[in-house]
Structure formats: C-alpha cells, structure tokens
Amino acid sequence: MRPIRIIPAISLILAFFAALIAFKATHWFWEDTAMPSTSLNTMAYRYHFVMIAHNTEETYWKQVHTGALSVARNADSALEYFSSRFLNLKELERYLEMAILSSVDGILISIPNQPELTALITEAFTKEIPIVSLSNSLETHPRLSYVGISAQNLGYQSGMALKKAAVRKIRAAVLINSNFSTESYQNYLHGFHRAIGSDSNIRLEMVVNSKGESISAEEQTQQILKHHPHIQAIICTDPNDTLGVAKVVVDQNRVSQTLIIGCGLTEEIANYIKREVIWGVLAEDPNELGAQGINTLIRLKTKNAEQEIYNLPLFWVDKSNVNQIYSKFSYTARRKNP
C-alpha cells in the first residue's frame, strides 16, 4: 500500500473502532434499559390478575410467585403481585380493596381469616371477580375457590409420620397455625387422629395455636419444653413454626430427645433435615401452588365456574430425599423463570 493511503486507512480504522467502542460503551445509555424486555408483551394481556399474599417466608412465596407468573405469561395474562412481609391487615386490606375497585380479572389471595378481609372478598364476588385462596385459613365460602394442601390430609400424613417414628411410647405436641380456619383446624386434627388411631405408643399431649411466626414459635416451644419436659415430639403446620421449634431444640441441646415433624420446605429447613434436627417435613411444591392458582383463575374465567377446589400433593421429605426434593422444587422454579 502506498504511504499516502495509510493515513486515510488508519483514520478510517481508528474512526471505526472509536465508533464501535462508543457504541459498545453507550448502547445501554441510548436505549431505555428501565423497560423490561417482557413488559411490552405483557401489556397486551388477556387477563389482569392480582396476587396478594401475607409473605410469611421470602423464598417460599418467591417460588409461588414464579410458578404463577410462568403460567400467567403462557396464558397471555398479567400478574400483579402485592405482599406484606409482616401481618399488616391494613396493608393487605388496601391491596385487596384496590384490586376490587380496579375491577381486575381475578385475585389470588393468601390472607388471614379477618372480617375486614372477608367482607372485601364478598364485595369481590358481588362484582363478579373470581378469587382463589392459596391457603387454608379462610372460612369456607360458596364461591371461594381453593388451591393448596388439604388440612385433613396434612393432619393424616403428619400422624402417619409420627406413628412411623414412634417405636416406643411417645408424647407429642401439635402447633397449629392460628390462621387456620375453624374448619381447617378441625379437619387437620381429624386427619391426625385418624392416622394415629388407637396406637398406644402415641399420646397427643397438647395442641397449641401458633402465630405462624418464627419468633413466636420459639417462645411457645421454650414454654412447652420448660413446662412439659416429657414432650418428645412436636408437629408443626407452618414453615416458620418448624424453624422456630428447630432453633429452640438446638439451643437447648435436645436434638436427640425431641422429634420434629414440620411443614414446608425452605433452604434453612432443608439444612436442619440434613443435620437430623428435623426428622422430616410435609411439603407441597410452591411453584405448583402458584401455577395451579392461576390455572384455576383462568378456568373460572373461561368456564364460568363458581368454585374450584384443587388439593396439591404432599411430599414427605426427610434426610434420605431432602436434596432430591429441594433440587426438584428449585429446578422447577428456575425452569419456570429462566
């Protein structure tokens, strides 16, 4: 190449690379990165659903939301998610009221059984807004659909697990979440008693209403173990209760003396199971809970059904399968939210 050609050639190359660097370095600047890539698609939605949850456990509800969002996307539906970390009734009421006043297409709820909230649910039904409960805490309503675990099944499975563990005489205490509706409470105990039957090795010493909070459960467990040191098994109906009981048992160095049968699977609970602090838990797939919630709402909208009840399968998780089940739940979450 002639020398004179070198100057324009080098200049062009430099200009090209400068432009390339400038573009590479600033392309994020010129485009609106605040806009999620999926937002435009979701704006053209068929249904607008709202999910309102009392967020008792961060990871668990994140997975529930992931499952629900995945199905909603596939059904060209938008899902709005409101959650309250602590039990703030006013906040939950605000979310529910706004959803009803906005005339959304459907609402997924996991809220405590409080009169203010149930009144709003009734208002929603008057406005033909379908509501699906994701927990067993609400009183039965002729039009309230339900997706979740059956309280009776939970009680029965818990009793069967205790029966299996009780090779000798054992005295047990049950912590039932106070958010359970009266019907769910009774169903749970009915199932439990049906499982243990007339097994003379098992004696249900006490039934305690818990608040579904870890700190509260710790306090209650301390009281139980202090005043009833002969209690050798504690059965829980809530993941926070399970964690609270496990912490106290570890703190009081009673791991080998106290059998814990929990409910729900989180990373922390999985670790306790691996360390044999918790003997085992009964858990449903949180992704499946969210997914079936949305599916139920869509069915209610499309088939004009009044009510649907969908009981999720319960998985028994102990040291032998904790990794497998936990990976399965986590994998499902990843797959649905790539």
Partner 1 sequence: MKQIGHRVPVTIRSKLLYSFLIMIGIFTLVSLFSYYSEQHMLNRFNVLLSNNLKLKEFRTNIDNVVTSLEQYLISRNFNMLRQYYQYSQEVDADYPNLKTIEPSLDNYLLLENIRNMTRSFLKQTEIAVQAKRARDSSGYHKAFLEVVRYGTNINWAIDRLITQQLEESSRQYLYISKRLATIQRLGLLLIIGALIFSVITTLWVSFRLTTPLQRLAKAAQIISKGNFSTEPLQVTTEDEIGVVTRAFNEMTQNISKLFAEIKLQSDLAQRLQEQELQNLSMKNVLREAELQALQSQINPHFLFNMLNAGVQLAIIECADQTAEYIDKVSNLLRYNLRQLDKPVSLAEEFNHLQTYFFILKSRYGEERFTFETELDPNIASFQIPLLTLQPIVENALIHGIENLESGGKIQVQAFLEAGQVIIRVHDNGRGIPPDTLQQIKEGQSKTGHTTGLGLQNVKERLRIFFGESDLMWIDSKPNDGTTIELRLPTYGRYEREIDDACTGCR
Q: Which is nearer to partner 1, 15 or 305 (CB)?
A: 15
**Alpha helices (H) in the chain, listed in sequence order:** 3-30, 39-43, 58-74, 89-101, 115-126, 151-165, 182-196, 214-227, 239-251, 267-274, 286-302, 322-336
Residues 40 and 297: their CA atoms lie apart, in Å, by 23
Residues 24 and 39: their CA atoms lie apart, in Å, by 24
Minimal distance in Å, beta carbon 102 to partner 1? 4
Minimal distance in Å, beta carbon 34 to partner 1? 5
Region of 147 (left: φ > 0; alpha: ψ -120 to 50; beta: rest) is beta
Q: Which is nearer to partner 1, 9 or 305 (CB)?
A: 9
Residues 130 and 103: their CA atoms lie apart, in Å, by 10
Burial track 271-304 (b if 16+ CB lie within 10 A, e otherwise) = ebbeeebbbbbbbbbbbbbbbbbbbbbbbbbeee
State which of residues 74, 88, 103, 324 lies at the interface with partner 1 (CB under 8 A).
Answer: 103
Q: Which is nearer to partner 1, 38 or 223 (CB)?
A: 38
Minimal distance in Å, beta carbon 73 to partner 1? 10
Minimal distance in Å, beta carbon 304 to partner 1? 22
Residue 120 has phi, psi (to 5 degrees) of: -65, -35
Q: Are 147 and 312 in contact (CB under 8 A)?
A: yes
CA gyration radius for the chain? 26
Minimal distance in Å, beta carbon 77 to partner 1? 11
Q: Which is nearer to partner 1, 21 or 305 (CB)?
A: 21
Q: How many residues bind partner 1 (CB under 8 A)?
A: 37
Minimal distance in Å, beta carbon 18 to partner 1? 6
Minimal distance in Å, beta carbon 21 to partner 1? 7
Burial of 80 (0-12, 13-18, 19+ CB in 10 A): middle
State which of residues 59, 62, 80, 205 lies at the interface with partner 1 (CB under 8 A).
Answer: 80
Residues 200 and 78: their CA atoms lie apart, in Å, by 54
State which of residues 60, 61, 81, 188 lies at the interface with partner 1 (CB under 8 A).
Answer: 81
State which of residues 27, 46, 74, 101 lies at the interface with partner 1 (CB under 8 A).
Answer: 101
Residue 277 contacts by C-beta under 8 Å, 6 or more apart in sequence?
A: 246, 249, 250, 255, 260
- Angle subtended by helix axes 89-101 and 115-126, to nearest 10: 10
State which of residues 62, 94, 299, 328 lies at the interface with partner 1 (CB under 8 A).
Answer: 94
Residue 202 contacts by C-beta under 8 Å, 6 or more apart in sequence?
A: 162, 163, 166, 170, 172, 196
Q: Which of residues 11-70 bind partner 1 (CB under 8 A)?
A: 11, 14-15, 18-19, 21-22, 25-26, 28-30, 34-36, 38-39, 42-43, 48
State which of residues 64, 104, 195, 269 lies at the interface with partner 1 (CB under 8 A).
Answer: 104
State which of residues 97, 199, 205, 268 lies at the interface with partner 1 (CB under 8 A).
Answer: 97
Q: Which is nearer to partner 1, 142 or 338 (CB)?
A: 338
Instruction: For residue 98, state whether it binds partner 1 (rule: CB under 8 A).
Output: yes
State which of residues 1, 2, 198, 253 lies at the interface with partner 1 (CB under 8 A).
Answer: 2
Kindly list the residues in this chain that would bind partner 1 in the complex (CB under 8 A).
Answer: 2-5, 7-8, 11, 14-15, 18-19, 21-22, 25-26, 28-30, 34-36, 38-39, 42-43, 48, 78, 80-81, 94, 97-99, 101-104
